[in-house]
Amino acid sequence: MLFPYALARPALFALDPEHAHELTMANLERFQRTPLACTWAQARVDDPVTVAGLRLPNRIGLAAGLDKNGRAIDGLGAMGFGFIEVGTVTPKAQPGNPKPRMFRLPEHDALINRLGFNNEGLDAFLLNVQRAKAFRAGGGVLGLNIGKNAATPIEDAASDYLKGLEGVYPHADYITVNISSPNTANLRSLQSDEALKALLDVLMARREHLAATQQRRVPLFVKIAPDLDEAQVGVIAATLRDCGVDGVIATNTTLSRDAVAGHRHAGEAGGLSGAPVREASNRVIGLLRAALGPEFPIVGVGGVMSGADAAAKRRAGADVVQVYTGLIYRGPALVREAAMALKG
């Protein structure tokens, strides 16, 4: 009994974007695992696939950023996702950047955000993750996305990522290292050759220690930006393979404003998501697939506003696909439409 999102969207879009987001998340959290969840729940498309050793019920997932604190995992899971990624979480709670920091560009099916990893910190995040039962009990796969605190100097970033890795490891089906948000100063510098290798060497060594002591091996993914040229993508691909990373998520939001030039919000700082990032994301996915070969796991994300967009991600080289901004514009119906388009 899927509640028609088209009826709710005008009221939500009349609100400030961040207010609308908080209201939506609060209701999903409050009514998950209750009979009222039937107003947005729908049957999950059955299309199992194994990626990085993980058996996913289907190929459509939720990207990190929508549920930064892991508050509504079961509520979101009821929409039919095969996998859900929550975070980005940082070791310590932080407020993020000053408001306003989220802007809709409905003419372009897009958003600009400069939230800045606003979250309640690792301890609160893990409590929320442990409360979520229904999604994983039904076979859903949960990814936990980690980042660094804004106050931590970039040269000390590894210490924050290690704290995040150790904290989430017992609770994650997979872990994503976010080095590609444009909203934390200097974070994207970690994508450069030497910095990326140094960070991944430390994290992979710690992952091996955790795998041995906890007797479970949790796959590690890295999320990269769309604003990379062919040479940069090639270096990243080689580093991921050399370091033994299990998969890559392509891509985060873009700093480019070419597709929205002239819009009243085009000059706002932050990452642009939604339809305008689609082609840049697909380009990076294609370059990664060419560099990494046919077997390396790639998660495609960026600009998925329809089932056709999801299918294009797979043609570009992605094994599975995540949505974020498309869910805001299209609602839960996009989940089923995309899952069906990816089936088989």
Each residue's pLDDT tens digit in the chain (344 positions)? 456 788 899 999 999 999 999 999 999 999 999 999 999 999 999 999 999 999 999 999 999 999 999 999 999 999 999 999 999 999 999 999 999 999 999 999 999 999 999 999 999 999 999 999 999 999 999 999 999 999 999 999 999 999 999 999 999 999 999 998 888 888 888 888 788 999 999 999 999 999 999 999 999 999 999 999 999 999 999 999 999 999 999 999 999 999 999 999 999 999 999 999 999 999 999 999 999 999 999 999 999 999 999 999 999 999 999 999 999 999 999 999 999 999 97
Phi, psi of 51 (to 5 degrees): -130, 125
* Burial annotation 106-144 (CB, 10 A radius, 16+ → b, else e): eebbbbbbbbbbbbbbbeebbebbeebeebbeebbbbbb
Q: Which residues, other chains included, contact 325 with Cβ-Cβ below 8 Å and sequence gap of 6+?
A: 109, 110, 111, 273, 274, 275, 303, 305
* Annotated catalytic residue within 159, 180, 181, 273: 181
Q: What is the pTM of this model?
A: 0.96
Residue pair 175/144 in contact by the 8 Å Cβ criterion? yes
- The reply to whether 192 belongs to the active site is no
At 75 the three-state DSSP class reads helix
